[in-house]
């Protein structure tokens, strides 16, 4: 079978000899990477997966049993709109770019490589999790996320191969060479080098870290570089499920913890084999703060340049804003000046990372409200919260300074003496890991998490989502 017949696509691969040649070399390396770094122990099992085989309503969500290595990694872009125009910045209203604007070539390649690097990284982080799945439903969701992250890597590699020539091909090879957490050749972003070795980590990761991905993709989906915009638009349709897995996953843990707290004489979920609220809170603090870093510095000339060039917009740029030039406005943000918190006014375009981060925080707060309702409904007094956006930051204005979870500036010594209250300790992680035993009979679920309110694609929770 010809290569272009094996790769479902809507980029006219059968006619594009150059792209075919590039993919022909890359595909075997990708499959080798998947065998080496993809989910361990389940490669020959039938999994009830959604596969995109086209971009229309029918084709993008095709459900069937598939063995993961046989998943059809495709290349899909949202169909082009006629007469599309640059939607913001200095070139507002001009025809969209079909090629990479020369002066932004390096920067754009960097953005695509950085996004691309996160996709295989998360597969690597999650590769052992199948062995301790809380249910077949969750196992299937893990694998769905994994194969789609693999496909997202394809999406970015398509752009590198298609638009960046020789250096694009080198970058595409390097995406398969870095490894999450490897000290010599780590993944680019720190959140993607953190271990994700228990299911509470997985749910927090898909809740908080994948959600950063949603906002980055949404900003790039506005791009005036049309192939990038259309690629990201299609990725967002898949990403929604990953966020669902994370948000409902943490929510189900909270729900179960609340039940166990009520059942226990001392109100202690741990006594009955659950995860205590304070551990859930620490995991939230950890993943939320690392994920905030992914938006970049609060004040950024890069963000201004990218907006001006029409390459990276704001969240829902077209629906949410009237002024798409944004050249005049200013934005007041909190910074550290002479060791103290201060307000500073900066040109709006320089604050766009912070503007995007603000959208993300609002979205996280919405989920938090939902989780807290589970606690209230169960009659538990305590509530979960998001820590201050200054807490535990490693990038931007607050990096190198120390804050408590309310955002008060404290000394390094105070932070170090109190961090076990705020961030997971080795004992917390070991305790959570001690609960992780696979529940693999259809309809069975681990004790520390509540079942989902519905199954996948109208199937019941008891459905055999993975045939073991």
Residue with Cβ nearer Fe ion (93 or 195): 195
Q: Nearest approach, Cβ of 260 to Fe ion (angstroms)? A: 30
Rounded CA gap, 216 and 231, in Å?
Answer: 13
Residue with Cβ nearer Fe ion (196 or 423): 196
* Phi, psi angle pair for 85, to nearest 5°: -125, 155
With tokens 């590769």, the residue in question is: 127
Residue with Cβ nearer Fe ion (150 or 296): 150
Contact positions vs Fe ion (CB under 5 A): 119, 149, 152, 210, 239, 242
Q: Nearest approach, Cβ of 122 to Fe ion (angstroms)? A: 7
Q: Nearest approach, Cβ of 375 to Fe ion (angstroms)? A: 27
**Which residues 6+ apart lie within 8 Å of 141 measured at CB?**
241, 245, 456
- Tell me the CA distances in angstroms from 258 to 255, 288, 431, one per residue in order: 5, 22, 18
Q: Nearest approach, Cβ of 63 to Fe ion (angstroms)? A: 19
For 397-447, the three-class secondary structure string (H helix, E strand, C coil) is CCCCCEECCCCCEECHHHHHHHHHHHCCCHHHHHHHHHHCCCCCCCCCCCC
**Which residues 6+ apart lie within 8 Å of 370 measured at CB?**
247, 251
Residue with Cβ nearer Fe ion (13 or 155): 155
Q: Nearest approach, Cβ of 152 to Fe ion (angstroms)? A: 4
Residue with Cβ nearer Fe ion (104 or 154): 154
The neighbouring-strand residues paired with 75 are 9
Q: Nearest approach, Cβ of 189 to Fe ion (angstroms)? A: 13
Residue with Cβ nearer Fe ion (237 or 372): 237
**Virtual CA dihedral for 269, 249, 64, 465, nearest 10 degrees?**
0
For 227-281, the three-class secondary structure string (H helix, E strand, C coil) is HHHHHHHHHHHHHHHHHHHHHHHHHHHHHHHHHHHHHCCCCCHHHHCCCCHHHHH
Residue with Cβ nearer Fe ion (239 or 247): 239
Burial class (CB in 10 A: 0-12, 13-18, 19+), 259: middle
User: What one-character-per-residue DSSP string does 276-341 give?
Assistant: -HHHHHHHHHHHHHHHHHTT--SS-HHHHHHHHTTSS--TTHHHH-S-SS--S-EEEEEEEETTEE
**Which residues 6+ apart lie within 8 Å of 97 measured at CB?**
86, 224, 225, 226, 310
Residue with Cβ nearer Fe ion (213 or 424): 213
Give the SS3 label for residue 356.
helix
Rounded CA gap, 420 and 388, in Å?
Answer: 17
Residue with Cβ nearer Fe ion (126 or 257): 126
Q: Nearest approach, Cβ of 267 to Fe ion (angstroms)? A: 36
Structure tokens at 114: 């950085």
* Phi, psi angle pair for 321, to nearest 5°: -125, 150
Q: Nearest approach, Cβ of 205 to Fe ion (angstroms)? A: 9
Residue with Cβ nearer Fe ion (215 or 331): 215
Phi/psi-derived region of residue 273, left when phi > 0, alpha when psi is between -120 and 50, beta in every other case: left
Q: Nearest approach, Cβ of 74 to Fe ion (angstroms)? A: 14
Burial string for 111-120 (b: 16+ CB within 10 Å, else e) reads bbbbbbbbbb
Q: Nearest approach, Cβ of 202 to Fe ion (angstroms)? A: 12
Nearest to 122 by CA among 165, 94, 151: 151
Q: Nearest approach, Cβ of 218 to Fe ion (angstroms)? A: 13
Residue with Cβ nearer Fe ion (149 or 226): 149
Q: Nearest approach, Cβ of 242 to Fe ion (angstroms)? A: 4
Write down the number of H helices and E strands in the chain.
14, 7
Residue with Cβ nearer Fe ion (127 or 242): 242
């Amino acid at each position: 079978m010809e290569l272009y017949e094996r790769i479902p696509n809507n980029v006219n691969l059968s006619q594009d000899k150059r792209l075919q040649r590039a993919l022909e070399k890359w595909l075997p390396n990708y499959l080798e990477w998947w065998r080496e770094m993809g989910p361990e122990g389940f490669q020959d099992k039938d999994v009830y997966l959604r596969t995109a085989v086209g971009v229309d309503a029918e084709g993008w969500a095709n459900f069937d049993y598939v063995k993961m290595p046989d998943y059809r990694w495709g290349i899909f872009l949202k169909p082009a709109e006629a007469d599309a125009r640059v939607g913001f910045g200095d070139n507002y209203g001009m025809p969209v770019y079909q090629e990479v604007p020369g002066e932004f070539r390096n920067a754009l390649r960097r953005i695509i490589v950085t996004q691309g690097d996160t996709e295989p990284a998360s597969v690597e982080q999650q590769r052992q999790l199948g062995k301790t799945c809380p249910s077949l439903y969750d196992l299937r969701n893990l694998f769905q996320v994994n194969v789609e992250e693999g496909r997202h890597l394809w999406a970015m590699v398509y752009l590198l191969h298609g638009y960046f020539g020789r250096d694009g091909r080198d970058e595409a090879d390097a995406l398969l060479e870095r490894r999450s957490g490897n000290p010599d050749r780590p993944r680019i972003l720190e959140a993607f080098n953190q271990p994700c070795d228990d299911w509470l980590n997985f749910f927090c990761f898909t809740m908080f870290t994948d959600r950063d991905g949603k906002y980055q993709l949404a900003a790039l989906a506005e791009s005036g570089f049309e192939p990038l915009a259309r690629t990201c638009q299609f990725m967002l349709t898949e990403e929604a499920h990953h966020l669902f897995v994370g948000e409902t996953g943490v929510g189900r843990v909270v729900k179960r913890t609340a039940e166990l707290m009520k059942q226990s004489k001392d109100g202690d979920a741990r006594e009955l084999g659950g995860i205590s609220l304070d551990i859930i809170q620490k995991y939230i603090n950890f993943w939320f703060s690392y994920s905030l870093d992914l938006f970049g510095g609060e004040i950024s000339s890069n963000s201004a340049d990218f907006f001006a060039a029409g390459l990276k917009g704001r969240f829902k740029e077209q629906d949410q804003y009237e002024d798409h030039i944004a050249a005049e406005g200013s934005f007041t943000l909190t910074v550290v000046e002479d060791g103290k918190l201060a307000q500073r006014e900066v040109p709006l375009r320089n604050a766009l990372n912070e503007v995007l981060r603000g959208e993300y925080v609002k979205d996280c707060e919405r989920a938090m409200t939902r989780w807290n309702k589970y606690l209230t409904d169960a009659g538990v007094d305590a509530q979960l919260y998001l820590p201050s956006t200054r807490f535990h930051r490693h990038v931007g204005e607050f990096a190198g300074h120390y804050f408590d979870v309310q955002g008060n500036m404290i000394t390094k010594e105070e932070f170090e003496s109190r961090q076990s209250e705020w961030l997971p300790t080795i004992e917390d992680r070991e305790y959570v890991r001690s609960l992780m035993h696979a529940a693999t009979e259809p309809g069975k679920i681990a004790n520390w998490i509540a079942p989902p309110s519905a199954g996948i694609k109208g199937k019941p929770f008891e459905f055999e989502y993975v045939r073991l």
